[in-house]
Structure formats: C-alpha cells, structure tokens
Structure 1
Amino acid sequence: MKKKVKYKMGKLGKHLFMSKYSSINALLPDTKAATKSNIYKMLRKYDSLYIKLDEGTGGRGIYKITDVDGGFLLRSGTTSKMHTTFEALYNSLAKFLKNDKYVVQQGIDLLEHNGRSFDIRVMVQKNRSGQLETTGIIGRLAKPKKIVTNFHSGGTPLPVSTLLESHLNKTDRAVFIKELESLGRRASIVLGESYRSKKAFGVDIAIDSNMKPWILEINTGPDMSIFNALKDKTMYRRILKYSKF
C-alpha cells in the first residue's frame, strides 16, 4: 500500500499553516478559498485581488481583478475584460472555478522598474548540517502588460539590486536585500516545520509601494534554473552545490 503523504498542501493550506506563526503572519496577504462569497467580501476590502490555482505553478491559472470606476477589470495574461457588475464578473470566473480548486488573494501594489512590475524569489536550502540557509536571491521583472513575473511566463530574471536602484540608495539597497534574504529563511523555517523532508524552498516576495515585503507563496520544489539566467553565476553554483547535500 502506497504511503500517504501527510503534509501535501496547496497555497491555501500553506497560508493557513504559516498564519499561525506570529513571526511572519503580518507579512502574509489575506488568502481564502475562491468562493463567490469570499471574492465578493474581499473586493469590498481591497482594490485588487488575484485568483490563483491552489496547486498551480509557473504563473499558470492566474487572474487579476481590479475594482475600477464603472465595474471590475478582469485580466489574464495580456488580455483584459471589463464587467459592469459583480454578477457578470463572477459568471465569467465561474467557468473555470468549477473545474479546479482556486484561491483568492489580496492584491499587492507591486513596485515597478521601468514601468514593469517585479517580485523577488529567495532560494533557501539545507546545508551539510541540515540547517536552512539562504543561497540565492533574484528579481523577476514582468513582461510588459503581463500580470505575472514568472520566468516560464516570460518574466526577466535580474539582480535584485538593479530592480531597486530607483527606489533605494546603494547603502539602503544592501541592507534591504539582507532583510529579504533573512525573511526568506525565516519563512522557510516556519513552513519547514510541516515539510521536514524538503531540502529547498523558493520564497516569492512582493514589495509594495511603501517598501513593505509580503510573502506571496513558498514553493517546495523550486526551479533552480532561473539563477543560471544571471550573468554572474556565483549564486547558481552555490545553489547547485547545496542541492547535492
């Protein structure tokens, strides 16, 4: 008989687990099951929402809803559609919500670089002693007019320092990047309580216009190849080395 995986969780399960920890719960965007009631209530609370596949990866199955004058703007990929009422919006969403499990998440007003949104991926891996260490950090710049930053959805991998140049001076950038690396490790330690056998975590962090970091998601099977896209291969070599422990 095949052994049951005890801790298999999608985005919602991970969110609920991590929200019990006071060290990071204030940095988790509000996330709920994508029911009609939850979407309605959250649209009254936030300017924008993301609808995401509970177990989707690589930027698949992501929709953005923005509350605008005259109704609700629904975006997916590079396409947009305006709905004048919530019922019309939900009818459009219901087509795919009935087939798969989705979550609805508070929208974060992402920082931009050259008019394009970006977020951060922090790689955290177990060292030779089994302790979690931050081994890499990289920025992901969204393709023009796209709502997702993922590498496999056309996002451009760039050094975090480059993306923060217009937001912080050199000294403050270095301090802030260290804080992001530390946050990635702290968040991984928390989720690692539930995924004890995992050796690597990819922590996706959004930064809002007030420079507050938000933990969007933690991937328990992170893609390492994005780091190979950087000209400087130092981080990529370190990540490969740790992957062998």
Structure 2
Amino acid sequence: MTQPQWKLGIHIAGAAVSPQNKQRLPEDSFCRELCLLGHEYGFHVFVFSPLHYDSDTGVLQGYQLHGDQWNFGPCPLPDIVYDRCYYQSRTERMRDKTAMQAMMLRHPWVRLGSQIPGKLEVYRLLLGEPRLAELLPRTVSYRSSSQLLRWLEREPDGIILKPDAGMQGRGILRIWQGPGGLQIQGRNAANRPYAYSFGQKKQPLSSFSRLIAGRSYLLQPYLRLTDDQQRPFDIRVLIQKNGAGRWSVTGTAIRIGEPHVLTANLHGGGRAAPAEPFLQALLGAEATSGIMEKLHQASCSAARRLEQHCGRLLELGLDFGLEESGRLWLLEANSKPGRSLFTLLGESAIARLSHVRPLQYARLLCNRSALYMPQVEAN
C-alpha cells in the first residue's frame, strides 16, 4: 500500500465527544468508512476538533482509527478539512473559528466545501434563479402575532413556522383555524410530536410568543404533502461533486412519517423508501419519470446557484415536497447532509458512492495544487 500523500481532517464539534468517551464519534460509521477508504485516494484521514489544538506548540490531537478502535492522540495538521461540525452555540462556533485560523497560520489548509447560510437567505438566493422560483413556497421572517393572524386569514390550510437555523424537524409548528378554534401541531426540541387545540383564536398567541422568543423563525403556507394514507413524505436528493469536479446526483430516496404527524424526518420517527417505486405507486410510471427528471434538473440548478453565491461547495441534501396534483416544491437545502437514508434502504452501492465522492473531489483539489494557493478562511 502506498504512503498517503495528503492529510484529510474530518472536523467535528469539540463538545460532541471527549477523549475519555471515544467509543463512538458523531457520524461514527461515516467517519470510519472515510478513514478506511482514504488510503485508496491518497489520504491519511483522521477526526479532530479545534478544541484540541494547542496554538502555542502547534500540536493537534485527534482520533485515528486503529483496527476498530478510535485512538486519541497527536495528529498531523490537515491539508484539507471536511467540515461535519454542528455547533450548539455561537460561542462554540467562534471558538472553533479562532482555532482554525491559528492552524491556518502554521499550516495552510483547504476547506473541502463551504457552508450555506440560513434558510431565509438560501430562499432568497434560489428565488433569483427563474427555473427554481416556481418551486419555492413563499417564505418570510416571522415578526409578530398580528402578522401570523393576517396569514391565517388568507391561508385556509394554515401556516408553518420553522426555525431559520433548525434541523431534523425540531421546533417546527403548524397553526390553522379549525372548526373549534385555533389548532397547533408541532415538534418540540426533543423532536417529539405534540398538538394543542384552543377555543379562541387569540388565546394561545401570548404563550406562543413566549415559546419562540429569542429564536429566528420563518413563516410559510402549509402545503399538503402527504400520500394516500395521510402520511407526510418528502423526497431527499443527495447531489455531490464527482471526481471531475462536476455536480452529479448520487441518490434519491423517500422519507415517510406516521399518519397525521407534521414531518417525515428520520430523527422524528420517519422511515425510508426507494424513490421510484414509491412515486410510481402514488402517481404512475409516466408521471414518476417526469418528476424524477425535474428533481435532477432542479437539484443541479440549486447546487450551481448556491455555489455561485456561497463559494465552493462539495455536496447538498435537497428536500422536495410533492402535492397530490403532482406539483413539486423545493423545501430545504443542507450543505452537511447525512447518508443514513441509503444505508437503511440497503442501497450499498449508493451509500458507498456517497462516501467516495468527497474523497474523489478532495483528491482533485489537491492535484490542482489548490493547497498552495492563498487561502481565506471565511466561515
């Protein structure tokens, strides 16, 4: 086996794991797979947090895979960084940024892919692409309960409120006016579903305002994105850069929730299904062919548009909704997508490709001598 040419560090949050409890890391199976595959593409792969970098000595400690065990100890400074970090606070983000900048001064490194901004800014960017504008549900910042009431008056199915920086369906709410009064359905911070019914329209608004105080929320119309069994579902498209640096759809799958719940997210109890058989059972073969083509075209357009405005990207997880009429909606974009959907489906070839493509693209960047270009750490 040839000696690895480059060092690839998988960047995780320092608060997520400690040297005393290192049997499993965040996204453990994914990190293990990258470590095992890395040698095939010329990389020594390890996992690190800037929390364990000593700027005085220049020593970085991290996690390296030996057999099936993670060993914590000194690691090389990375040439290229794969950011899989999910921050719990602004303080944690700023602390990591400072450490990464200190590492840059001692040993220049390249970020494999940039982050994208919050949901509202992503919406505004995508809205500027005519081919995507018709797929985007109207989205505005939530400002007041009076604004919410105005929306309820013109949206018979109600409205959706979602955190601008939320993930995995946590904190999302649906509010609508039912026959007996105002209804609220949602998921709490632990991603558990709940529902309330209020006899008077204004009764819950003061409690609601306290519930979301201090967080930035978005307001959207509620869309009926359910199958014939009233189960919410969405379509996840994973699009990644390939070894030639071109955007390519890696895989498409369906997430299905329980009947009459708000979201289909796997972390909230949803399950996975292969995309084409599910859609064919719902819409028929001809309509499914058209939907799949539109999904691929929209995904490529979204990737190119976001990369144009956000800097070099590696991959995106794009979530689409589908109405009974066949109308497609682009709901969200995520620059740090998971891969468990394809593993759950037993689609081992797609799962492996989703692991390989970051390494292929990292090798392309290294071979283009990107490591020796001036670097600007923007995130």
TM-score (norm 1): 0.90
The offset of 1:103, in angstroms, is 1.0
Q: Where does residue 120 of structure 2 map in the other structure?
A: 12
**Does residue 164 of structure 2 align to residue 54 of structure 1?**
yes
Q: Do the aligned partners of residues 209 and 241 (structure 1) sit closer, same or farther apart at CA in structure 2, a change above 3 Å counting? A: same
Tell me which residue corresponds to 1:43: 152
- SS of the aligned residue for 2:183 comes to strand
Q: What is the Cα-based RMSD across aligned positions, in Å?
A: 2.1
Deviations 1:111-146 (A, max 9, x none): 315331111111111122322111111100013442
In the alignment, structure 2 segments of 5+ residues that lack a partner are 1-96, 102-113, 188-192, 362-379
Q: Please give the alpha-carbon distance, in whole angstroms, between the structure 2 residues aligned to 1:207 and 1:82.
A: 27
Aligned to 2:32: none
User: Using CA pairs below 8 Å that are at least 6 residues apart, which structure has the higher relative contact order?
Assistant: 1
**Distance in structure 2 (CA, Å) of the matches to 1:7 and 1:224:** 18
| Segment drifting more, 147-156 vs 80-89 | 80-89
Within 2, Cα distance between the matches of 1:237 and 1:178?
Answer: 23
* Mapped partners of 1:208, 1:168: distance in 2: 11
In the alignment, residue 221 of structure 1 is paired with which amino acid?
Answer: K
1:224 positional shift: 1.7
Match of 1:243 among 358, 367, 377: 358
Distance 1:231 1:8, change over 3 A: closer
Structure 1's consecutive aligned runs of 4 or more residues displaced over 4 angstroms after TM superposition are: none
Which of 291, 299, 304 pairs up with 1:189?
A: 304
Say whether 1:108 aligns with 2:231. Answer: no
159-168 or 128-137, larger mean C-alpha shift: 159-168
Match of 1:80 among 192, 195, 219: 195
Which residue type is aligned with residue 161 of structure 1? E
Aligned position for 1:229:
344
Report if the CA contact (8 A) 2:317-2:335 is conserved. Answer: yes
Q: Give the 3 Å change call, closer, same or farther, for CA 67–188 of structure 1 in structure 2.
A: farther
Superposed counterparts of 1:113-132, under 5 Å: 114-132=229-247
Match of 2:139 in 1: 31
> CA 1:21–1:89 in 2, change beyond 3 Å: closer, same or farther?
farther
2:78 is matched with which residue?
none
What is the count of residue pairs matched by the alignment? 243
Higher alpha-carbon deviation: 222-231 or 202-211: 222-231
Distance in 1 (CA, whole Å) between partners of 2:293 and 2:307 is 21
Asked whether the equivalents of residues 137 and 181 of structure 1 are also in contact (C-alpha less than 8 Å), the reply is no
Aligned mate of 1:177, from 292, 295, 303: 292
Mapping of residues 131-142 of structure 1, within 5 Å: 131-142=246-257
> Identical aligned pairs, as a percentage?
24
Distance across 1 between alignment mates of 2:202 and 2:120: 25
- Return the letter of the residue paired with 2:204: L
Distance 2:301 2:262 in 1: 27
| Separation of aligned partners in 2, 1:215 and 1:26 | 9
Shift of 1:8: 5.4
1:201 aligns with 2:316: yes
Relative distance call for 1:227 and 1:7 in structure 2 (3 A) is closer
Q: Write the letter of the residue equivalent to 2:288.
A: R
Question: TM-score scaled to structure 2, two decimals?
Answer: 0.60
1:95 aligns with one of 184, 187, 210: 210
Mark the CA change 1:44 to 1:202 in structure 2 (over 3 Å): closer, same or farther. same
- Counterpart of 2:130 in 1: which secondary structure? coil
CA contact (8 A) 2:174 2:186 kept: yes
CA drift of 1:213 comes to 0.5
Tell me the CA shift for residue 83 of structure 1: 2.3
* 8 Å contact kept, 1:32–1:38: no
Q: Give runs of aligned pairs for residues 204-219 of structure 1, distance below 5 A.
A: 204-219=319-334
1:7–1:123 CA distance, 2 compared to 1 (3 A): closer
What is the rounded CA distance, in whole Å, between the counterparts of 1:178 and 1:234 in structure 2? 21
- Structure having the higher Rg: 2
What does residue range 123-162 of structure 1 map to in structure 2 within 5 Å?
123-162=238-277
Q: Rate the CA distance shift 1:172–1:209 in 2: closer, same or farther, 3 A.
A: closer
Report SS of the residue matched to 1:87.
coil
Amino acid at match of 1:28: L
Contact 2:231 2:257 in 1 (8 A): yes
> How far did residue 105 of structure 1 move?
1.5
* Contact persistence 1:30–1:106 (CA under 8 A): yes
Q: Secondary structure at the match of 1:136?
A: strand
Using the alignment, how far apart are the partners of 2:213 and 2:233 within structure 1? Answer: 30
Deviates more, 1:115-124 or 1:6-15: 6-15
